[in-house]
Structure 1
Amino acid sequence: MTQFVLVAGAWLGAWAWDEVAGDLRAAGHDVHPLTLSGLAEKQGAPAGQQTHVQDVVDEVERLGLRDVVLVGHSYSGIPVGQAAERIGERLRRVVFVDSNVPADGESFLSGWPSEHVRQAIADNGGFWPPPAAGDYAGQGLTDEQIERIVDGGTPHPGATLTEPAVLKRPLGELPATYIKCLLDGDEPIPAVAELLGSERWELVEMDTGHWPMFSRPRELARILHESAAGT
């Protein structure tokens, strides 16, 4: 039995995985959706990037999990990738869902034009405000799905985006699946493309947008199940 720990991206909490978690449980897996500090029901808890890494590690250790598949979506690929290294032999596989990946000494905002994000954080008391409904257009989402995301989203702690990642070994050494959502761009970002050259990494494409846990939950659950079974 595989143990899945599911971590959604910026602005989202464990609730974002409800449909995916249901399908994975129906397939016989144990599933542990995780809300990171400072988000959703954990609003108000202080959080930096390393807080989020520790959130993931603590969840694995608190529950005594083994044979773990860590899943990180969007922003959460940064802390999940670091946590995957730190849980050692407990890890079965790490899955990055259309996500950023950590690079030692680099932050989430490193390497792309991020002045508008930094300014938004400065203008909103240290938090990155959630997008408006119109920002989700063209991502394969229904109006109802967009409404659900917008209603559930909470401001994201800005320090988690600006603090650097800490890795002790190359990320390409970890067994990994990268899920690329094609409506969010045809090609993986350069850092991911380089990692996909590792024999331990595989690429899976989904013909949907950046939030597949809402737009294609059943397909995403199937891919996660197959990723775990194939390791």
Structure 2
Amino acid sequence: MRKTLVAANWKMHGTKAFAEQLLAELNSGLESDDCSAEVVICPPFPYLGVVGAAAENAEQVALGAQNLSEQPSGAFTGEVSAEMLLDCGARYVIVGHSERRSLYGESSELVAAKFAAAKGAGLTPILCVGESLQEREAGNTLKVIAEQIQAVVDLDLGNTWQNAVIAYEPVWAIGTGKTATPEQAQEVHQFIRQQLGEAGPATQILYGGSVKAANAAELFAREDIDGALVGGASLQADEFIKICRAAD
């Protein structure tokens, strides 16, 4: 049976003091609530050590990163490799977030290469897929997502989806306050699971896009939604804990 996974994407927010305070509140709240969800915290790179140290003392909190290089090492100034992330204690890494695709021009082929780099090093990639508002209005949602998934399949990694997570994040819902209805999200999650073939039933598929405590339970209740990739709400301890508790 698939467990609920809630991943926090802090994006480019916070300070060391902020991270330490937020983690202390999260650890305290999650332990006292006996939350059943798996929790991943993905801070900015400078705070991987802060979160990693806190995760060592928390049974259900794992460290993740927001991005990585597709290269194993070399003269790539400003990049961070999968091996480095592992060395910091990371277990997960986000690849292909819509902001990486739209703001930094990451193609599906590059995202697939990053997915492969993560898998090859023993990290669990959280592959983000999703459509823009224009693509949804044109009726191309499923086509776009199928193409984003196919870029990974084309690498023929073998057991591609074992120890991997997918996050459906409609671009039009990220940071806008808009959320796909549970029916819209379920439709896409079901489609993604079908695209994965035999691996579909075992693969965790998360929803991302203005997830809040107010809508988390209704989303998690859908058959093919296994948790959430949370942005802004993950920066507020009480709100994020309530999202995690929605798994119960």
Fold in common (TM above 0.5): no
TM-score of the aligned structures, taking structure 1 as reference length: 0.37
